[in-house]
Amino acid sequence: MASDRAPEASPPLSDADLDPAAIERFKDAAARTAAKLVRDGMRVGLGTGSTVAYLLTALGERAEELRGVRCVATSPATAAVARELGLTVDELDDVGELDIAIDGADQVDPDGWLVKGGGGAHTREKIVAASARRFVVIVSAEKEVARLGPPVPVEVLRFGVQRTLAALGDTRLRDACASPDGNLIADYAGPVEDPRTLAERLSGTPGVVEHGLFAPEMVSEILIAGAGGVRRRAGGKA
Ligand code: 5RP
């Protein structure tokens, strides 16, 4: 299914967008903008990664006010930090549908496709995103790309892993990296010509648990922070 949304060109990156210290401030700005969407009583999905770490800090600062919030974490690391900061973390199956999920991304293309899984948690992240009425992505500006490229993370079963990698082609196991559910994380390094076609091929390969391509229709909005401030892009999810 082709997207009927107009691709969104990103403003050109300046040197100020690429400065490593500034990138950390941009992640914080995107995360703090998203944190304002969280209100007491909500059921909230929490992603994984360094941008989400800023989100956890921002939510933790309001832990008293957010005592009625029930969080679902996409990784043990996120769950541990969230609890340390005074947030309530429950199991997804105990919480059910989420009001909002907030997560980072490794790449965002003009059509709103994402590559996720830099932290190897993309399977849980996809389940949590799909369980949320609103899925908000938070990124620093250098994550916007003109077209998606490798690597695309892939979670694979340990059983027959060499056969799975051979079927995928151009795919390598990430050193000493297991998913939160004990499967292996590999990176597909081949071309990403059409993300939907590749997503279907990866999903259709026996042994693949989940890949890190997130379709635009999973995403409600993308908050992109750069030297020019925080910009909001609509996603393809109503
Ligand atoms: C983890 C993810 C992360 O959201 C993604 O890798 C971005 O991470 P960071 O915010 O550290 O740049 O998908 O599996």
97 is catalytic: no
Atom of ligand 1 nearest to the CA of 47: 4
When pLDDT is cut at 50, 70 and 90, the band that residue 79 belongs to is: very high
pLDDT of residue 98: 99
Residue corresponding to tokens 């009583």: 41
* 153 pocket-lining for ligand 1 (C-beta < 6 Å): no
Domains and CATH numbers, the chain: 20-227 (3.40.50.1360)
| 148 pLDDT above the threshold of 60 | yes
Between vectors from CA 165 to CA 162 and to CA 170, what angle results, nearest 5°?
A: 135
Q: What per-residue confidence (pLDDT) applies to 3?
A: 54
Whether the pLDDT of residue 64 is over 70: the answer is yes
Dump pLDDT digits (tens) for 80-118.
Answer: 999 999 999 999 999 999 999 999 999 999 999 999 999
DSSP E strand stretches across 8-131: 43-46, 70-73, 88-89, 98-103, 107-108, 114-115
Q: In this structure, are residues 111 and 55 in contact, taking their beta carbons and an 8 Å threshold?
A: no
Asked if residue 33 has its Cβ within 6 Å of ligand 1, the reply is no
Q: Would you say the CB of residue 151 lies under 6 angstroms from ligand 1? A: no
Q: Is the pLDDT of residue 1 over 70?
A: no
Torsion region of 60: left, alpha or beta (phi above 0 gives left; psi -120 to 50 gives alpha):
alpha
Q: Does the structure show a pLDDT above 70 at 4?
A: no
The pTM of this model reads 0.96
Please report the pLDDT score of residue 17 as a whole number: 86
Please tell me if the CB atom of residue 143 comes closer than 6 angstroms to any atom of ligand 1: no
Rounded to the nearest integer, the mean pLDDT of the chain is: 95
Residue 146 pLDDT greater than 80, yes or no = yes
Q: What is the mean pLDDT of residues 181-205?
A: 97
- Does residue 24 carry a pLDDT above 70? yes
User: Which residue out of 61, 64, 91, 125 is catalytically annotated?
Assistant: 125
**Crossing angle for the helix pair 20-35 and 50-60, to the nearest 10 degrees:** 50
